[in-house]
Structure 1
Amino acid sequence: MSTTQSERLRELLEPLVTSQGLDLEEITVDSVGRKRVLRVVVDSDTGADLDQIADVSRALSAKLDETDAMGDDAYDLEVGTPGAERSLTEHRHFVRATDRMVRFQLTDDGELTARITAVDEDGLDLEVPGVKGRRPTTRRLAFPDIAKARVQVEFSRKDDKNSKNEMEEEA
């Protein structure tokens, strides 16, 4: 039986989120001054658009209103998606981060920044950027070797597909 409020809320709200085609990633209840804030983070393999966020927010609000899960005190409900530099903790997070640059904290206290090229049940195939003009190298990383992983925001990456199309047009 669940003992924490977050666990009880997850049991109550996860079926609603799932019915909307989304995954429930995180639930937190924070005190902000005299109010409480219930933050619900949702996502999917294709991301979540504003209409989906609004729909799930209404469904969650209605469910919370018909139960006493948040008690009698006032609270605000915030529903959103993970941030750009989210932590990767579940297998599905790594799958969704394929082709993205990720910074890994390794269990042996090492650190690695690499692009995820493939994900399977045992681990990741990575492309490690070359240093000082050298070519990128490939590396295999097993899930047990990962202590933490966080997606990195890339501002100047050229899309390989667009680059190939531009080169073909020039020819």
Structure 2
Amino acid sequence: MTQRGRATRPTAPTGRPRQTGGPRGGDRAGASRGDLTARRDRLRAVIEPVVTGAGYDLEDVSVSRAGRRHVVRVIVDADGGINLDAVAVVSRSVSAALDAAEESGGDIVAGEYQLEVSSPGVDRPLTLPRHWRRNAGRLVKVTVRAGAPAVDRQVTGRVAAADDERVVLETESGPVEHRYAELGPGRVQVEFHRLDEIDEADEVGDDTDEDDDDDVEDEER
């Protein structure tokens, strides 16, 4: 799994096609948005206690149609990130909880479905204090609402600090503090190293190795 400090983090689908014991009547093409919303609420009620009990945060639960079956996507996160082994453990626990809910007579997801559990991607909007805290050091773009009447403006800065009430962004003009009430959803900006900078770093490393070899030879003499 890609580490948190890097630009991207791949998802880790761990689910498998499943046939639930619920009635087939709800498993028809073109299910209304209201049906999907109701299913998502039922899913969250079952899944959230499992995820929080394992020490993680449930960031999102979504359910969508994929042909004749549903795809249930569960996003989990934690301080310091969550690795693939932990994702696999959570996936098995969630799967068992859904099985138990179905066997007890609950209509969780009618028909066949596939469960996917993953960690958040870099495109996840920052909307909660913990999102900002977990992205300390990263470059973020956000809409700031300030003034009377309120005027929206785009601000890009690096997350220097974040707590439960405010975030400090290091901008080109210096550090700026904003309360979360002033901010729209933040977006992490993907940063790429310039190839010439990487080449220069490699050259420096090569020179250092050569110098070390010379020192060893001198000592042997």
* Residue 38 (structure 2) aligns with: 4
Whole-Å separation in 2 of the counterparts to 1:17 and 1:155: 33
Secondary structure, in 3 states, of the residue corresponding to 1:153?
coil
Q: Which one of the candidate residues 104, 118, 124 is aligned to 2:161?
A: 118
1:8 to partner: Cα distance: 2.4
1:72 to partner: Cα distance: 3.9
Whole-Å separation in 2 of the counterparts to 1:121 and 1:78: 30
Asked if the contact 2:64–2:70 (Cα under 8 Å) also holds between the matched residues in 1, the reply is: yes
1:122 to partner: Cα distance: 2.4
1:81 to partner: Cα distance: 0.7
Please list, as runs of the form range in 1=range in 2, the aligned pairs for 1:6-155 lying within 5 A after superposition: 6-68=40-102, 69-107=107-145, 108-129=151-172, 136-155=173-192
RMSD between superposed Cα atoms in Å:
2.1
Give the structure-1-normalised TM-score: 0.81
Asked if the contact 2:39–2:109 (Cα under 8 Å) also holds between the matched residues in 1, the reply is: no
Asked if the contact 2:71–2:116 (Cα under 8 Å) also holds between the matched residues in 1, the reply is: yes
Asked if the contact 1:20–1:52 (Cα under 8 Å) also holds between the matched residues in 2, the reply is: no
1:21 to partner: Cα distance: 1.9
Asked if the contact 1:41–1:80 (Cα under 8 Å) also holds between the matched residues in 2, the reply is: yes
Report which stretch shifted further, 145-154 or 61-70: 61-70
Whole-Å separation in 1 of the counterparts to 2:152 and 2:67: 39
Asked if the contact 2:46–2:101 (Cα under 8 Å) also holds between the matched residues in 1, the reply is: no
Asked if the contact 1:6–1:27 (Cα under 8 Å) also holds between the matched residues in 2, the reply is: yes
1:15 to partner: Cα distance: 1.3
Asked if the contact 1:85–1:153 (Cα under 8 Å) also holds between the matched residues in 2, the reply is: no
Q: State the aligned residue count.
A: 152
1:156 to partner: Cα distance: 2.2
Asked if the contact 2:157–2:171 (Cα under 8 Å) also holds between the matched residues in 1, the reply is: yes
1:19 to partner: Cα distance: 2.1
Give the structure-2-normalised TM-score: 0.63
More strand by share: 1
Higher Rg: 2
* Residue 156 (structure 1) aligns with: 193
Whole-Å separation in 1 of the counterparts to 2:46 and 2:110: 17
Whole-Å separation in 2 of the counterparts to 1:60 and 1:138: 42
User: Alignment identity in percent?
Assistant: 39
**Letter of the 1:78 counterpart:** E
1:70 to partner: Cα distance: 2.8
